[in-house]
Amino acid sequence: MTGRFVASIVALPRQEGASVPWEDTVAAPEGFGFDVIGIPEGADLDVRLVLTSVSEGVFVSGSVGADLVGQCSRCLKDLRQPMRQEVSELVFYPERREALVAEGDVEVAESPVVVDMGIDLEPILRDAVVLALPFAPLCRQDCPGLCSECGLALETLPADHSHGPAHDPRFDVLSRLEAQLREQEK
Ligand SMILES: [Zn+2]
Ligand SMILES: [Zn+2]
């Protein structure tokens, strides 16, 4: 297994508790986010990890940081905000995962494994980043959003911005009918 996101554990002693750092600034692959918010492909991903030997495999811990780029969900303004998310994932030795699955531990069946003395960090980092994405990104916590009448950003409009009382043509018919009934009552 090779690639920009593959951490080799050749230099990591298998003795429990031994650790090696894995720190790098790498170009974000595609798929680190969604249309509304995410890390653009090729943007800097600041990865600071420590790989620690544990009995079942290698514990990957640390954090990943990047600038999120997207759109405010209220006013649709472009936004850019820094994020840093904790990473914590146990990567199993294949034989250990197999043994656990055989013992009935179904949850570990999907867990990552060490392949050819390497750990593919890409899916681990992607999961961490996607978890950190805001469900409804905002340019600022109290973003007033858009005017429901004209669709302009309220932030750019004067505080007394209004379109007068809402006019619904259906009420014209009702008031004409009411006037007619009043006439007949006379
Ligand atoms: Zn906004
Ligand atoms: Zn308006």
Query: Rounded to two decimals, what is the model's pTM?
Result: 0.79
- Residue-level pLDDT at 164: 78
139 Cα: distance to centroid of ligand 2 (angstroms): 20
34 CA to centre of ligand 1 in angstroms:
18
pLDDT for 166: 61
Closest ligand (CA of 137) = 1
Per-residue pLDDT tens over the stretch 159-186? 889 887 766 666 677 778 788 888 887 6
Residue 148 falls inside a structural domain: no
Residue 102 domain-assigned (yes or no) = yes
pLDDT of residue 175: 78
SS (H, E, C) the chain: CCCCCEEECCCCCCCCCCEEEEEEEEECCCCCECCCEECCCCCEEEEEEEEEECCCEEEEEEEEEEEEEEECCCCCCEEEEEEEEEEEEEEECHHHHHHHHHCCCHHHHHCCECECCEEECHHHHHHHHHHHCCCCCCCCCCCCCECCCCCCEHHHCCCCCCCCCCCCHHHHHHHHHHHHHHHHHC
Instruction: Tally the domains of the chain.
Output: 2
**Residue 140 alpha carbon to ligand 1 centre in Å:** 6
pLDDT tens profile 83-104 = 999 999 999 999 999 999 999 9
Range of the domain at 181: 154-185
**Do 112 and 180 have their domain in common?**
no
The number of the ligand nearest the C-alpha atom of 164 reads 2
Which residues of the chain register pLDDT less than 50?
none
Q: Tell me if 146 is assigned to some domain.
A: no
Ligand of minimum distance to the alpha carbon of 145: 1
Q: Which ligand is nearest to the CA of 154?
A: 2
